Chain A
Amino acid sequence: MKNGTLFFLGLFASLTVSFAVVLLANHQLGALTPYFDDGEGKAFPDRMPGVAARGQLVYRDLGCASCHTQQVRRPGFGADQTRGWGERQSVARDYIFQPFPQLGAMRIGPDLTNSAGRKPSALDAEDLMNLLYAGQGAMPAHAFLFNQVKVTGEVPAKALKLTGSAAPAAGYAIVPSEQAQTLVAYLLNLNTVYDYPESRPVVQAAAQAEGAHK
């Protein structure tokens, strides 16, 4: 490699060409629009309500994605469906309104893509608050998202209903901070209950191949 200029151009070109992967993908996905369903008379996915969008920032800032993914793989590839994480695979269109998609890369805890749309029963706000406050199994307690307040008069409406050793001292109540409230609002907004055309055929084909458990 005697020719320095040629060497330099080679380096430059190599990386530029590899960036074509990104550009091609962007060509394919960058202009995805919401899907308008004539039957329902509205477009999907929904935009996140403001409080949930703020909750996503809390989710990102705390690093929740270090343990939880938000991507359900197709039926037959892993046990994502049978674990109840989502009835269909995640598709790119699910994320178009998310400023910071939290796909994640580790499953130390369950996938949360469809945590609010899970069947038969998804966790409600109260369950999520208690889970965040006390932790469970490998999930650490996030007590720092809650404040202990002295009860004067009526118990605050948002106070957690705790029993046993988790309960605060008499005369005190545990109330969620704003961070906890937005985070829970975000988690309650996570669902992929709507089937897009691109997510449908794969589900059906794979379900038939497996002998359709429905």
Chain B
Amino acid sequence: MSHDTQEVSANDAHARGPLLLLLGSGLVWLVLSGVLALIASVQLHTPTFLASCAWFTYGHMQALQETAFVYGWLANAGLALGLWVLTRLGGEALRAGNWVTVGALFWNLGVTLALVGIVAGDATGHSLLQLPRYVQPLLLIAYGAIAVAGVLAWSGRRNETSYASQWYVFAALFLFPWLFSVAQLTLFVLPMRGVMQAVIAGWFAQGVFTLWLAPLALAAAYYVVPKVTGRVLPAYQFASLAFWVLIVVGAWTGGRHLIGGPVPAWISSLAIVACSLLVFHYLVVWLNLKGALGHGGAVMKFTAFGLLAYVIGGCADAFTSIRSFAVITQFTYFTQAQQQLALYGGVSMLFFGVLYFAVPRLTGKTWASAALIGGHATTAILGVLLLVISLGVAGWTQGQALLKPAVTFPEIAAATRPWLLLATAAYAVLLVGNLMLVVNFLQTLAAKPTVPAAALFQATSDIKETA
């Protein structure tokens, strides 16, 4: 392992500008997506809410909140934290920082245009790829500019042997443009015919999670867990196997959403097998990182919860991909619950964990408020639990009811309504928590450093003490 770089480093100061720009813009999108998710969630139980305007249909709100969350928050934060981990492990200062800054500006311009386009009715209708087709090339180029720094950090690393975090970041940086450009080509430039579009969209959406967002989150977790706990990761010799299982098998699981659909059955059968194979990956990740559990401090609280959500979410995917489960959960809120468990409970919570670790080191200041960190941890954990449970129960109720032809849609709506109200409450709780993070982030940026930076980082667990 090569994470024995010095705790205090000039490299962090060098990376400060570009990475804080990415993180800061990510946080803006996080709050915005929270507001949009709240609106979409209200519309599910109160269909009259904002129904008088074509801009605010449920379809639009759903696409908006998903796009703002994935391409706004997760992408910005994931790239910032990934690059930070890569430069730290590489032992060299961030190179091509200007490229990151320019790329970040254009990426966020692209996301803004995408949201405007979706409001105007230009969403593509494909899950996790709602971005209007005209902003996609811009986003691809902006991503390339940001990724330059990552490639340089990988190829210029000081130690030849590499650590798990580095594999995951590098894989994520490279595989996303591969996925994204091929999806653009086969869906929009030279669109394949008929149901093939659903097959490609499924392949892409699964790839966005298993080959891009999950690796970024895992890179963060593999970096921060041994740092904070001060222990060698158990069963680390299996980490590379877990990595390759995810990379090789991950994108094969896309067809599970097409079970029973108008495509050849082998597509979904293959996906079901792949989902089961992935359980091996989740098992190894669990074994490697379980030291995060039961360790105090906000960083480990977020990381432990994120790890649990990631592993449980993966196993839930394997279970619900089995046809006798899928016949109930398919087309219901249960799939939304699974997606929220993976993206919010898993990826986003792991990002929060490493964000609380990274920002003091990037800025050279301690977090302005320990109370706000504690508040965010509590609300985020409570919010995700509430959200996943309420959507899960709503989905199960809906799925059972859909199987009984006698139950009408108004009856299903009435039966799921209490749970959907609870989901709205969960989104509100999450929004409050995220506002705490933003306030704390801004206060930290505005504060003058009171302690010399070197003194700050003498203890590896400064967050632990403040939180």
- Chain A residues with CB below 8 A from B154, complex form: 4
Measured CA separation A140–B48 after assembly (Å): 6
Known contacts A15-B211, A67-B59, A140-B48: does B402 contact A107 (CB below 8 Å)?
Answer: yes
Residue in contact with B191 in the complex, picked from A28, A61, A99, A140, CB distance below 8 Å: A99
- The answer to whether A168 has its CB under 8 Å from any CB of chain B is no
- The answer to whether B28 has its CB under 8 Å from any CB of chain A is no
- The answer to whether A83 has its CB under 8 Å from any CB of chain B is yes
- Chain B residues with CB below 8 A from A99, complex form: 191
Residue in contact with A65 in the complex, picked from B59, B170, B195, B247, CB distance below 8 Å: B59
8 Å CB contacts to B: which residues of A1-48? 1-2, 4, 7-8, 10-12, 14-15, 17-19, 21-22, 25-26, 28-30, 32
Main secondary structure of the interface of A (DSSP, over half): loop
Stretch of B9-17, B250-258, B291-299 with 4 or more beta carbons under 8 angstroms from chain A: B250-258
- Chain A residues with CB below 8 A from B191, complex form: 99
B125 x A102 contact (CB < 8 A): yes
Chain A window 84-101, contacts with chain B (Cβ cutoff 8 Å), 1 for yes, 0 for no: 100001111011111111
B262 x A91 contact (CB < 8 A): yes
What is the interface size of chain A, counting residues whose CB is below 8 A from a CB of the partner? Answer: 71
Q: For the complex formed, measure the closest distance between the CB of A178 and the CB atoms of chain B, giving whole angstroms.
A: 13
Measured CA separation A15–B248 after assembly (Å): 7
- The answer to whether B123 has its CB under 8 Å from any CB of chain A is yes
Residue of B nearest to A64 (CB): B59
A103 x B332 contact (CB < 8 A): no
Known contacts A15-B211, A73-B261: does B122 contact A61 (CB below 8 Å)?
Answer: yes
Measured CA separation A189–B467 after assembly (Å): 61
What is the interface size of chain B, counting residues whose CB is below 8 A from a CB of the partner? Answer: 79
Residue of A nearest to B405 (CB): A82
A22 x B332 contact (CB < 8 A): no
Measured CA separation A109–B47 after assembly (Å): 12
A108 x B261 contact (CB < 8 A): no
- The answer to whether B461 has its CB under 8 Å from any CB of chain A is no
- Chain A residues with CB below 8 A from B200, complex form: 22
Measured CA separation A8–B203 after assembly (Å): 21
Residue in contact with A107 in the complex, picked from B58, B267, B332, CB distance below 8 Å: B332
Residue of A nearest to B255 (CB): A21
- Chain A residues with CB below 8 A from B179, complex form: 15
B403 x A78 contact (CB < 8 A): yes
Measured CA separation A164–B250 after assembly (Å): 56
Residue of A nearest to B163 (CB): A1
- Chain B residues with CB below 8 A from A19, complex form: 182, 203, 251
Stretch of A122-130, A131-139, A150-158 with 4 or more beta carbons under 8 angstroms from chain B: A131-139
Which 4 interchain pairs have the tightest Cβ spacing? A63-B59, A61-B121, A18-B251, A95-B194
> Which residues of A line the B interface, CB within 8 A?
1-2, 4, 7-8, 10-12, 14-15, 17-19, 21-22, 25-26, 28-30, 32, 60-67, 69, 71, 73-74, 77-79, 82-84, 89-92, 94-110, 135-145
> Would you list 28 pairs from A and B whose C-beta atoms are within 8 A, ordered by A residue?
A4-B154, A11-B170, A12-B178, A14-B251, A15-B247, A18-B207, A21-B255, A22-B186, A22-B196, A25-B264, A28-B264, A61-B122, A62-B60, A65-B125, A67-B59, A78-B330, A78-B402, A79-B402, A79-B403, A92-B264, A95-B193, A101-B195, A105-B127, A105-B335, A106-B335, A137-B409, A138-B410, A140-B57
